[in-house]
Amino acid sequence: PAASGACRSSMWGSQSRAASGPGGVRAVNLAELLQSSVGDEEPAPARRPPQEGTVLLFPGQGSQFVGMGRGLLRYPNVRDMFRVAEKVLGYDLLSLCLRGPQAELDRTLHCQPAVFLASLAAVEKLHHQQPSVIENCVAAAGFSVGEFAALVFAGALDYTEALYAVKVRAEAMQKASEAVPSGMLSVIGRRESNYNFACLEAREHCKSLGIENPVCEVSNYLFPDSRVIAGHLQALEFLQENSRKYYFKRTKMLPVSGAFHTRLMEPATEPLAEVLKSIKIQKPFICVYSNVDSKKYVHSKHIQRLLVKQLVSPVKWEQTMHAVYERQQGVEFPYTYEVGPGKQLGAILRNCNLKAWKLYKHIDVSEDEEAEEM
């Protein structure tokens, strides 16, 4: 916990929970900025042009790669973050991130803490290189486990406690995924694609094979005509074999071990719910959007409830992108930074909102490039 406090001081200065001192003052200013630039139904006049506001996006499982974090170790607090992680997790996460092997890093129980930490370490790099981006941040969103990193950044969760919650979540999801042969299928469809009907027929196919209570449903809404469908493997194989019937342009099995964000993850909800009851959750200092309903979190109980519900609910990322970037005609878009491994959220943003994507940048987590464009 002491190390965790050190971690927070630089990285989340503008989102500090302190009631007094520089962190507290800046947090109040950030809250005021948030009220003025995002606001409720009748926002006050913005204190700075909207285009100076920033949005941070935190990636999820699947973005990890061996070597991530190498370019971040020279920034303040990052080594401390990894030291804390070793104590919380019981293994050397830094070595796993830098040297792999990839198969171990890809395991659910390892990759979730790895992506969580690498994303917050990327925030540290961004804070060091461009502190104004952090100070002007008005909103954040995270994909699946990325939501935990977004909430730490926004001051709602303590780093160490959130890391422990991610550990419990990852282990519970790994266990749940091993109980049933299941997976996730990425689908690029057409306008005439009927995903719900396709899932219904896939479930009927599973019943004909003797599978009781089969699962096959949309688990991720990515961008128009792009979905991830998750469930029993036999259902996903049926969809691949009959993809033309459902007007699917392309299907691809994802390299994950289970049907995340479906009711097959039900066994993972209780362990996560228990740990979330035991940690302190604050109201975030900036807007953080929930995967479950694409709306802003409003209070700590809301966060506690929806983080559990997220395990068995589809990730409404496409809807979240519309909520984050919705604005009146003529109002400038904010600068967007994807903090963490991979550029998947940038690619999705490009397909959801091309104008918003034009102000997108990625903060690299591998080798540090002196000539890197900020």
Beta bridge partners of 253: 185
The question of whether 144 is a catalytic residue gets the answer yes
Show the tokens assigned to 25: 């003052």
Q: Name the residue among 355, 312, 365, 313 with its Cα closest to residue 334.
A: 355
Which of 110, 127, 232, 261 is catalytic? The answer is 261
The question of whether 182 is a catalytic residue gets the answer no
Q: Are 322 and 189 in contact (CB under 8 A)?
A: no
Q: What is the spatial distance between Cα 84 and Cα 71, in angstroms, rounded to a whole number?
A: 19
Which of 14, 144, 219, 290 is catalytic? The answer is 144
The DSSP line for 311-371 is: GGS-EEHHHHHHHHH---TTPPPPEEEEESS-SHHHHHHHHH-HHHHTTEEEE--SS--TT
Helix (H, G, I), strand (E, B) or coil at 57: strand
Q: ∠ at Cα 87 (85, 90), nearest 5°? A: 95
Q: Are 181 and 89 in contact (CB under 8 A)?
A: no
The DSSP line for 97-114 is: HHH--HHHHTSHHHHHHH
Helix (H, G, I), strand (E, B) or coil at 43: coil
Beta bridge partners of 56: 140, 337
Catalytic sites, residue numbers? 144, 261
